Structure 1
Amino acid sequence: MKAFTLFGPSDTILLFGAASSSVSSRTQLSFPQTQRLLFCRAETDASVSLVNVPPNLLLAEREEAKAVLRMFLTNQGMNRLTAARKMKKLDRFVDHLMLRLHTVYKTRYLVGRELTTPEIRDALIPYLDEFVEEHGDNFVEVLEYFPIPIVKENNTNANTNTSDDDNYVVESSEEFVQKATSHSRASNNTETPNLPPHVVYLEELGMELEVIKEVIRKFPAFAYYSLEGKIKPVVEFLLDLGISKSDIPAIITKRPQLCGISLTENLIPTMAFLEDLGVDKKKWAKVIYRFPALLTYSRSKLQATVDFLYEMGLSPQDVGKVLTRCPSIISYSIDEKLRPTSHYFDSIGVNPAVVMSRYPQVFGLSVEASLKPVTDFFMQKGYHVADVALMASRYGAIYSFSVEDNLLPKWEYFLSMEYPKTELVKFPQYFGYSLEERIKVRYEVVKESGVRLLLNQVLSLSDEDFYKLLKRKVKKKNACA
């Protein structure tokens, strides 16, 4: 492991670096309390070069590093809630990831350039993969109890020289977090006459100042995104795709990280990748509005989900339709959502590929809390599992309804409609219509007319077609009389 050191807020800063086993160099420098600098010790002449690194850049990059780590945990099978809780215990390891960035991109810091999201991911994801390979199932525990030796330090060779990377020192994360928070508070003061340019720009797009504050509160890195370099190019690109200007605030609110993605290096290539997987390129405006986070997932995550859809039995055409109509399917954990739901439908005789192709949103529900209660409800009403399977195949959305608030009151009214129970097996879409505004109104009209219509005819026809059919039925009845 690299011999990194973090210094704190004291006025005196110590730099340590071992030139050999018998000699250790120690350089002591004093600076004013308010000045915080990034130090790099050059191996050639032991000189120290000082380069200012704005705290706001370090904070933004730390938030990006945390986002990468959180995403990595979910990709390893941890659900998002657990990953979010676990992140609270990983501050020390996040600091270590920051040092990793500083090592990999040292020359970028020397010229003061901010790292892009793809650069951060490219540096950290392979590094995290190495942790999994080395520690296996224990890797999360290793991160939580960091610093324990993660990569064995090469201390056995007494004559091994250390490079300049081994003595890379940065300002403590606590300090630049405090500074950036203070800056953020000043920027968010509504009484401040000179708001940051990107805040003014977002307000011009129709984004409320309070909403901007909330976005920054939840995702502090957004406060430090460059207007000209990041936010504006992404917004203009979205507008060119056909997204309405009025929809931009909602998109940014849902996924502010989108504004940190490079158009040429990440966003556009990811869109091309998704188009190859079947996303309808003519419908990008709707897809992004529905689920802007889609463009922030890694290629490996996208491909893994698509591969599972193929494994379920979906055709390439169906996969494209699912990704276009329900792009949030990418956010569902394969091991915690997609696979268990697929197995459950299999267990009751339903082809999961059919449900996925027609009602993919159902796969985001809990098997125990949402799916099983619906099946149990119909079984308790006297239906066989084969009947429930038919209902699910014909109208998978039935599993997204609340038993107490939807199924039960509509079932009770259905019993008064004098239809056989088999009518619901033929037309489970009945539960998708409003009880007060559609079902009761239409059925009362049919009942008063004295004729009989199929449940499908009562509910699925447009008003015009419904009354035309009813008129023909009444006329035929009168003619027969």
Structure 2
Amino acid sequence: MRASSTSFHFLESTSLSRGPVDISRSQLSIPRKLFFCRAKFGVSYKAIIINADSGIDGSFSSRVRVVPATLVAAEKEEAKAVLNLFLKKQGLSNAVAARTINKSDIFIDHLVSRLHSVHKSRYLVGRELTTLEIRDALIPYLESLREEHGSILVDLLENFPNPPGKEKPIGHVSPSHLTPESKKQRAVSRVSETGPAGQLPPHILYLIDLGMDLEQIKGITRKFPAFAYYSLERKIKPVVEFLLDLGIPKSDLPTVLTKRPQLCGISLSENLIPTMTFLENLGVDKRQWAKVIYRFPALLTYSRQKVEVTVDFLSEMGLSAESIGKILTRYPNIVSYNVDDKLRPTAEYFRSLGVDIAILLHRCPQTFGLSIEANLKPVTEFFLERGYSIEDIGTMISRYGALYTFSLAENVIPKWEFFLTMDYPKQELVKFPQYFGYSLEARIKPRYALVKEAGVKLLLNQVLSLSYHNFDKALKTKMKKMHSYRASSDTNSCQDLQPGIE
């Protein structure tokens, strides 16, 4: 029988335990190697890491670590996600960060090699790294590169392992011949390919049974290709069962997984459960986990440091520990906002309007996710142009934080124009800015029409905030008083007209 042939590809990587890369030389030192092996006749890819100082002899087997290629592919996607987050944190736009990553295939492989070196004991026993462990291993390393190389960091990533500005050796060929788009296509093909029996892969059938359709799964894979390589029994199924046990309805799981497929890459015992305990200690209501996760599943994938930075900011703004817990429970998305780029500037803007920041955060934390230039300033200018003072606007936003979340064109302006036809002074909106939160066609116009028809006057608050029963009752009471007053006035008028009795 003819022996199967095997082709090897060698990816050289720098030492990953010696700190930052030295780019003062034309080539970087390479004491370790990561080998990608592909055998014919259906044998899957393997990544084999060998110590460079080990001989290919009898001691070879004790120094070899074999990693499934599907795991390597998933780790590369995780490494890209970490690098993308890091670059954007350095001030790069989404487009520039993505372009840099597309040009940094060799550096991405280097990051994967670093993971295998730092956590070699984990691979020796066959344990996969979680998303948070990958992040914790790579971020400090990227920070050290930034500190050492500063403004030329992007050049370093794109030209790795050659120093920026120097030509690559003629014989150097990138180990990754796949473009980012072709990698996505490969991942999408993986989730939709059928086996000999014509069936989809087991993990895809499992997801379909949960209520997802194949197009949804493909969409997730396009955004996060690593999802295609997650193990059903070791990754997806344990997380799904855990979420079901928390009380998340099966019908909601497709939404949760679509929002944050990375959840399936997190270890339950080492990351997910400890993170939840940590958040509960910060005040998250453990009885509300199903709602919290449905609203913002990404909360469970953030590092403790990220959460603590947000909590420290909320505390600095004057919120009590109890209030912070309620905010994290009701609006966990606030953790995703950068404190220095988003939360603090927004707080300063509202403070300039005389708003109590703690009250606004407690009542309407989602306001702090809005753009100052695109959302907040236009609303402020709208009311200033109509004669309201800064103090009036500050009072309105303090009483009704959601005011700034409404569209000017679709909500505020049409309701303002109708308000001008109502018999109320402008200050009525300062007293009751919640007016803008009611439906113009379903609530405001019909209720006001009834008031006009009855010929009475009610406070704007009474017209809109009362239930239908209480509104009807208030309207009838007002009409009764009006008729009683008119009857009394008519009687007095008649008595005044009668001649005096001697």
**What TM-score comes out, normalization by structure 1 length?**
0.84
Among candidates 424, 429, 432, match of residue 434 of structure 2: 429
Ranges in structure 2 where 5+ consecutive residues have no aligned partner: 1-5, 15-29, 165-173, 487-502
1:314 aligns with 2:319: yes
Pairwise CA distance, 1:147: 3.6
Q: AA paired with 1:185?
A: S
Partner of 2:362: 357
Partner of 2:310: 305
Partner of 2:394: 389
Partner of 1:461: 466
What is the distance in 2 between the residues matched to 1:425 and 1:30? 68
Task: Kindly report which structure 2 residues correspond to 1:180-199, keeping only aligned pairs within 5 A, or say none.
Answer: 182=186, 184-189=188-193, 193-199=198-204
Among candidates 440, 450, 454, match of residue 449 of structure 1: 454
For 1:247-273, what per-residue CA distance to the aligned partner results, in whole angstroms no more than 9, with x for missing partners? 011000000001111111001111111
Pairwise CA distance, 1:43: 2.3
Partner of 1:240: 245
What is the distance in 1 between the residues matched to 2:8 and 2:232? 36
Q: Is the 8 A contact 1:118 1:265 kept in 2?
A: no
SS for the counterpart of 1:417 is: coil
Partner of 2:22: none
Among candidates 227, 236, 242, match of residue 232 of structure 2: 227
Partner of 1:172: 175
SS for the counterpart of 1:416 is: coil
Q: AA paired with 2:366?
A: Q
SS for the counterpart of 1:94 is: helix
SS for the counterpart of 1:172 is: coil
Partner of 1:268: 273
Q: Is the 8 A contact 1:59 1:176 kept in 2?
A: no
For 1:229-287, what per-residue CA distance to the aligned partner results, in whole angstroms no more than 9, with x for missing partners? 11111111111111111101100000000111111100111111111111111111111
Pairwise CA distance, 1:186: 4.9
Pairwise CA distance, 1:184: 4.4
Partner of 2:19: none
What is the distance in 1 between the residues matched to 2:194 and 2:10? 41
What is the distance in 2 between the residues matched to 1:183 and 1:408? 47
Q: Is the 8 A contact 1:59 1:173 kept in 2?
A: no
What is the distance in 2 between the residues matched to 1:240 and 1:323? 21
Partner of 2:50: 40
SS for the counterpart of 2:420 is: helix
What is the distance in 1 between the residues matched to 2:392 and 2:278? 41
Pairwise CA distance, 1:212: 1.0
Partner of 2:384: 379
Ranges in structure 1 where 5+ consecutive residues have no aligned partner: 1-9, 19-23, 151-170
For 1:50-73, what per-residue CA distance to the aligned partner results, in whole angstroms no more than 9, with x for missing partners? 665432211111111112223334
Partner of 2:498: none
What is the distance in 1 between the residues matched to 2:120 and 2:433? 62
Q: Is the 8 A contact 2:375 2:404 kept in 1?
A: yes
Among candidates 138, 155, 158, match of residue 124 of structure 1: 138
Percent identity for Structure 1 against Structure 2: 59
Partner of 1:103: 117
Q: AA paired with 2:356?
A: N
What is the distance in 2 between the residues matched to 1:135 and 1:389? 46
Partner of 1:401: 406
For 1:347-367, what per-residue CA distance to the aligned partner results, in whole angstroms no more than 9, with x for missing partners? 122122221111111111110
The CA RMSD measured in Å over matched residues stands at: 3.2
Q: Is the 8 A contact 1:362 1:400 kept in 2?
A: yes
What is the distance in 2 between the residues matched to 1:31 and 1:59? 13
SS for the counterpart of 1:40 is: strand
What is the distance in 1 between the residues matched to 2:37 and 2:248? 51
SS for the counterpart of 2:421 is: helix
Q: Is the 8 A contact 1:68 1:124 kept in 2?
A: yes
Residues 416/324 of structure 1: CA separation in 2 closer, same or farther (3 Å cut)? same
For 1:424-464, what per-residue CA distance to the aligned partner results, in whole angstroms no more than 9, with x for missing partners? 00000001111111100100001100110000000011111
What is the distance in 2 between the residues matched to 1:446 and 1:276? 51
Pairwise CA distance, 1:326: 0.7
What is the distance in 2 between the residues matched to 1:173 and 1:449? 77
Partner of 1:134: 148
Residues 31/147 of structure 1: CA separation in 2 closer, same or farther (3 Å cut)? closer
**What TM-score comes out, normalization by structure 2 length?**
0.80
SS for the counterpart of 2:50 is: strand
Q: Is the 8 A contact 2:187 2:225 kept in 1?
A: no
Q: Is the 8 A contact 1:74 1:80 kept in 2?
A: yes
Q: Is the 8 A contact 2:11 2:36 kept in 1?
A: no
Residues 363/86 of structure 1: CA separation in 2 closer, same or farther (3 Å cut)? farther
Residues 87/309 of structure 1: CA separation in 2 closer, same or farther (3 Å cut)? farther
Residues 183/268 of structure 1: CA separation in 2 closer, same or farther (3 Å cut)? closer
Task: Kindly report which structure 2 residues correspond to 1:335-346, keeping only aligned pairs within 5 A, or say none.
Answer: 335-346=340-351
What is the distance in 2 between the residues matched to 1:304 and 1:258? 22
Is the deviation greater in 77-86 or in 298-307?
77-86
Partner of 1:284: 289
Pairwise CA distance, 1:187: 3.6
What is the distance in 1 between the residues matched to 2:97 and 2:351? 29
What is the distance in 2 between the residues matched to 1:141 and 1:17? 18
